[in-house]
Amino acid sequence: MEFNTASTEKIPKDSWLVNLRIAGSVSTNTVEKAVSLNVGPHGYQRGKKEIHKIFEQGPPIICLQDVRIPKRRKNSVKRDLQRVFPHYWIYITTTQSPKKDRRDRPYVYSVLTALHSAFFPKVVQMRCHHSKQMDAETRREIDGRLLITQAQTTFQFMNMYQFTAANPMGQTEIWATTENWISKQKNSRIILQGDLNGAHPGCRWDYAQPLNKDIGTAENKLEHFIKTISGHFYVQQEHTWKGKECRAALDHVLTWNYHLPPQATRTLPKSHKKIDHCQIWTQLPHLDFPKQASTARTTQPDFSQRIDTVFFIKTSRASVAQLVRARDCQSLGRRFDSV
């Protein structure tokens, strides 16, 4: 048996089996699954404990929405995750809106995709092109709401955080961008997961009737997108989001050129009081997602004990300057003594 040699100081010590499961060195007969979760309004920083619990289970695909990671922290969050879970490829896209919240802070739209390298030895992030007629602000926001990765030229994974129903123009633009992308992927098997901010007919509970105009428009846009692009839509039987007085199934899974097993998706009740969405777990056919004995990503080297070269150079220069001043003072003292 091959053990992971990475430091486990920051890995929760729930059990030795969890530790080995993270390392990808234990072969199990469990069915592999993909997981999707909107972690808002908590975001990554305050929802880190819940996010780590998902990573500990070692699913091949993890799609997180509304992680609220600003651009300046993007690389540090990536390093933080890969230090604890070294066998995952981590991809983050983020953008900052000129609009501000009630605390006068700019809105940050960001999604995160993690792919386990034991299942996907080679992964690339794809660049999605926008319409030239799209305004610059919407284009930037879509860049923070839609993340596409491709694994081994056979699968594409789309992680989407759709605009809210209060922004029908934004919803139209991101659906058009997605439709344009998918129409050009003739041979790729595509799995889209995320918070689509729209429900299938009959999948809203305790809402006042008739539905708000914006909500009704959002539902129509989702249905139109599914019919236009001929995707396979896996309807959630339970709510995935819960407000103060109402519930709805807003988080979905769609596929193109690919079929998932019947009853592939399952909703897990939310386990964090601040996160108002539920996790969506999707069963993956074992033959299409075989787990390799070894992982493509290896344990990252520990640079914590290395010398900080910038600090070393500055300190060395200061020390040399101090020695020069001392020598000059000594020399000057001798001159006065000789006089």
Q: What is the DSSP letter of 102?
A: T
Average pLDDT over residues 282-293: 87
Average pLDDT over residues 61-84: 95
Q: Is residue 295 included in any domain, yes or no?
A: no
Q: Is the pLDDT of residue 309 over 50?
A: yes
pLDDT at 312: 58
Note whether 52 and 58 are within 8 A (CB). no
Indicate if 321 and 281 belong to the same structural domain: no
Indicate if 258 and 315 belong to the same structural domain: no
pLDDT class of 27 with cuts at 50, 70, 90: very low
pTM higher than the cut 0.85: no
pLDDT at 1: 32
Q: How far apart are CA 272 and CA 285, in angstroms?
A: 29
Q: Is the pLDDT of residue 245 over 90?
A: no
Indicate if 312 and 207 belong to the same structural domain: no
Q: What is the pLDDT of residues 37-50, one digit of tens each?
A: 999 888 999 999 99
Indicate if 280 and 338 belong to the same structural domain: no
| Beta strand 61-65 pairing with 33-38 | parallel
Q: How far apart are CA 111 and CA 83, in angstroms?
A: 19
Lowest mean pLDDT, pick from 38-47, 76-85, 284-293, 308-317: 308-317
Give the CB-side neighbour count of residue 62, counting CA atoms within 13 A.
26
Indicate if 179 and 324 belong to the same structural domain: no
Specify burial of residue 106 (Cβ count, 10 A radius: 0-12, 13-18, 19+).
exposed
Tokens found for residue 168: 């029908």
Residue type, 241: W
Q: Before 41, cis peptide (omega within 30)?
A: yes
Q: Is residue 294 included in any domain, yes or no?
A: no
pLDDT at 159: 98
pLDDT at 337: 57
Indicate if 128 and 168 belong to the same structural domain: yes
Structural domain boundaries enclosing 160: 16-288
Q: Is the pLDDT of residue 119 over 70?
A: yes
Q: What is the pLDDT of residues 251-285, one digit of tens each?
A: 999 999 999 886 666 776 655 567 889 999 999 98
Indicate if 319 and 265 belong to the same structural domain: no
Q: Is residue 297 included in any domain, yes or no?
A: no
pLDDT at 24: 44
pLDDT class of 4 with cuts at 50, 70, 90: very low
Q: Is the pLDDT of residue 243 over 70?
A: yes
Instruction: Report the CATH number that the domain containing residue 26 is assigned in CATH.
Output: 3.60.10.10
Indicate if 239 and 126 belong to the same structural domain: yes
Domain count, the chain: 2
Indicate if 215 and 86 belong to the same structural domain: yes
Please calculate the CA angle 89-91-97 and round it to the nearest 5 degrees. Answer: 165
Lowest mean pLDDT, pick from 15-19, 46-50, 101-105, 171-175: 15-19
Residue 88 vs residues 10, 25, 27, 61, 295: alpha-carbon distances, Å: 16, 14, 17, 9, 9
Q: What angle, rounded to 10 degrees, do the helices at 48-56 and 16-23 form? A: 80
Tokens found for residue 194: 């995320």
Lowest mean pLDDT, pick from 73-77, 123-127, 155-159, 205-209: 205-209
Q: Is residue 175 included in any domain, yes or no?
A: yes
Q: Is the pLDDT of residue 240 over 80?
A: yes
Lowest mean pLDDT, pick from 16-25, 84-93, 222-231: 16-25
Where would I find the beta strands (DSSP E) of the chain?
Answer: 33-38, 61-65, 88-100, 106-116, 123-126, 146-151, 155-161, 189-195, 204-205, 232-234, 241-242, 247-248, 251-256, 265-268, 279-283
What is the average pLDDT value for the chain, to the nearest integer? 82
pLDDT at 173: 95
Q: Is residue 62 included in any domain, yes or no?
A: yes
Torsion from C-alpha of 197, 203, 207, 210, nearest 10 degrees: 90
Indicate if 37 and 91 belong to the same structural domain: yes
Please give the share of the chain, as a percent, with pLDDT higher than 90. 52
Greater pLDDT, 158 or 17: 158
Indicate if 178 and 317 belong to the same structural domain: no
CB atoms within 10 A of CB 305: 5
Where would I find the beta strands (DSSP E) of 105-250?
Answer: 106-116, 123-126, 146-151, 155-161, 189-195, 204-205, 232-234, 241-242, 247-248
Indicate if 29 and 136 belong to the same structural domain: yes
